[in-house]
Copies of this chain bind each other. A is one copy, B any other.
Amino acid sequence: MSVITVTSQELADMSGEERALLINSLPGYKTGMLVGTCDTHDQTNLAIISSHFHLGSNPPLLAMILRPNTGKSERHTLGNILDTRSWTLNGFTLDRAARAHQTSAPYPKTQSEFDACGFEKEWLPAFAAPFVKDAPLQIGCVLREHHPLTINGTHMVIGEVQRLHYPAAARRLDGALALDVMGLVAIAGLDTYTQPDEGLRLAPANTDTASAAL
């Protein structure tokens, strides 16, 4: 099998677009989530991300990386989160992947991606950000910390999970969620959407036995 080696110098010499496509491939699969936010005038925004990650379960913390609004490239999610300190993460199924992908188009701030891309807003009592109605997984987060990262001008926001909604059928007996039952998609790179199957489940690993399927 022929293997390609890429050095740091070769990375530096690539065009910005080629490097972005390559480097965005490196983390592998991530689940796409639709981030719902609004500003203080209830102008809503919906944006697809795959830069969210688990930070810890006690307290229950999820974080994500966002780019600021530079004018050249309008991005409204970070500003809305800093204004209202709230956001929602909404999973989606493969039949909605094209509409979810469409939220990455550069809509102006006055045009909500909920409307432009055909998603219905769902407001829940005492939560400042809109959820995506009928999403198989809905997560409401409130801002706990905001870290501007000077290394490249991105921002990390850390949220505490305030409420969750998921289908009863997706709950395993041990409390974990079966992602395949929810039909969540995985994203590869910047443009490829796939729905993984049930997969192989392994028991917690111990030093005295090899890992075994459950």
Q: Name A residues whose Cβ lies closer than 8 Å to a Cβ of B.
A: 1-8, 11-12, 14, 16-33, 50-62, 65, 89, 91, 94, 97-99, 101-107, 116, 137, 139, 144-145, 147, 149, 151-152, 154, 156, 158, 160-169, 171-172, 174-180, 184, 186, 188-207, 210-214
Contacts and interface: CB of A to CB of B under 8 A. Distances in A.
7 nearest CB pairs, A to B: A28-B31, A194-B199, A18-B175, A25-B177, A23-B57, A105-B205, A21-B176
A2 B181 CA distance: 13
Contacts of A21: 172, 174-176
A20 to B, nearest CB: 4
Contacts of A206: 105-106
A5 to B, nearest CB: 5
Contacts of A163: 5-8
Nearest to A89: B26
Nearest to A175: B18
Contact of A29 (B51, B55, B179): B179
